[in-house]
Amino acid sequence: MSLRHLSIDELVDRALGGDRRAVGRLLSIVERGGAEAEQVETRTHAHGTDAHVIGITGAPGAGKSTMVARLVAAFTAASRGPAVVAVDPSSPLTGGAILGDRVRMAEVDTSAFIRSVATRGHSGGLALSVPGSARVLAAAGFDPVIIETVGVGQVEVDVTAAADTTVVVVTPGMGDAVQANKAGLLEVADIFVVNKADLPGASDARRDLELMLELSHVTGQEDASRRPPIVMVDSLAGEGIDAVRGAIDEHHDHLVTTDRLVERRRRRARYEMRSRAALAFERHLDDQLHTSEVAAMVEDVLAGSETPSSAARRLWQPDAS
């Protein structure tokens, strides 16, 4: 039966009841954004707020998907089981290679819900749609919700800001740990994974991370009461996956017992509100740029009768003189 004729309210009712196809449709709506996405949000945001949102990030090819496939299998289904949102820079459209190529779907807990979102063709909206998608999945009863993103650039850091627990994956060789540091991933990491620990140089990667953590400890991390653990993993063989799971659970307990979970979610809400307001304002500005008023301001700036700064101020504060 097709779900196309259903209203958003009906889709939400079905999704909350565990209908996976309805969940899929809602995710498509959230990914498109706009008024319908907001309607979905209104109906779902109060549900599933207990779900643990886990961000997994790292360089392209670090083995994130392979590890996530293993992790999904390791998470015993508490309710409807885990869900994954994979932000996939390489897939042309959704439905590209999602989980690691060598860990076959058959090995993965079939109760998991896997969603791939392509970054290609997205401009800024992705960082906003991913937290929304995570909320839909949580509302539908999936727990934990795992978000996989490539750890380069601002969008990815934005997306990891949507997580309760952030796992940063590095690999032996090529100064991965140093790169992670440069990309600002050291501060956001709650747990480090040295994946591909079967390859030479794994202990060097571990030592690099320890050194950098030592240094950043001096300059001060967000949560000084806790040093992020470093877990050695071979995702192909499935070694170390239980330890990653253990570290994730330990971090969740830490957040709960120290009241940091609510503080993190407060910060997240603030951040998401800011991102949404900024995007809406950018769109508003872009529309403005095509009006005759702005064309006249451009001429004034060119003629030297108005400075760019004062013209800009008139753009965002049209009522100010």
Ligand X SMILES: Nc1nc2c(ncn2[C@@H]2O[C@H](COP(=O)(O)OP(=O)(O)OP(=O)(O)O)[C@@H](O)[C@H]2O)c(=O)[nH]1
Give the DSSP letter of residue 52: P
Residues 224, 210: Cα–Cα separation, whole Å: 15
Residues that contact ligand X, how many (by CB under 6 A): 20
- If one asks whether residue 90 binds ligand X (CB under 6 A), the answer comes out as yes
Q: 34 or 60: whose CB is closer to ligand X?
A: 60
Q: Strand 53-58 and strand 191-194: pairing? A: unpaired
Task: Kindly report the number of other CB atoms within 10 A of residue 203's CB atom.
Answer: 12
- If one asks whether residue 65 binds Mg ion (CB under 5 A), the answer comes out as yes
- What are the residues facing 75 on neighbouring strands? none
Contact between 117 and 180 under an 8 Å Cβ cutoff? The reply is no
- If one asks whether residue 102 binds ligand X (CB under 6 A), the answer comes out as yes
Q: Which two tokens stand for residue 220?
A: 């001060």
CA-wise closest residue to 98 among 76, 83, 77: 83
Q: How far is the CB of 281 from ligand X (least distance, A)?
A: 32
Q: Reduce the DSSP state of residue 180 to 3 states and report it.
A: helix
Q: Which of these segments, 18-26, 28-36, 97-105, 224-232, binds ligand X (CB under 6 A)?
A: 97-105
- If one asks whether residue 198 binds ligand X (CB under 6 A), the answer comes out as yes
From ligand X, Mg ion, none, which one binds at residue 90 (CB under 5 to 8 Å depending on kind)? ligand X
For ligand X, which residue of 23, 37, 40, 62 counts as binding (CB under 6 A)? 62
Residues 177, 154: Cα–Cα separation, whole Å: 18
Q: Strand 113-118 and strand 191-194: pairing? A: unpaired
Q: 97 or 262: whose CB is closer to Mg ion?
A: 97
Contact between 158 and 278 under an 8 Å Cβ cutoff? The reply is no
- If one asks whether residue 60 binds ligand X (CB under 6 A), the answer comes out as yes
From ligand X, Mg ion, none, which one binds at residue 101 (CB under 5 to 8 Å depending on kind)? ligand X
- If one asks whether residue 236 binds ligand X (CB under 6 A), the answer comes out as yes
- If one asks whether residue 150 binds ligand X (CB under 6 A), the answer comes out as yes
Q: How far is the CB of 303 from ligand X (least distance, A)?
A: 50
Could you list the residues that contact ligand X (CB under 6 A)? 58, 60-66, 90, 100-102, 150, 195-196, 198-199, 234-236
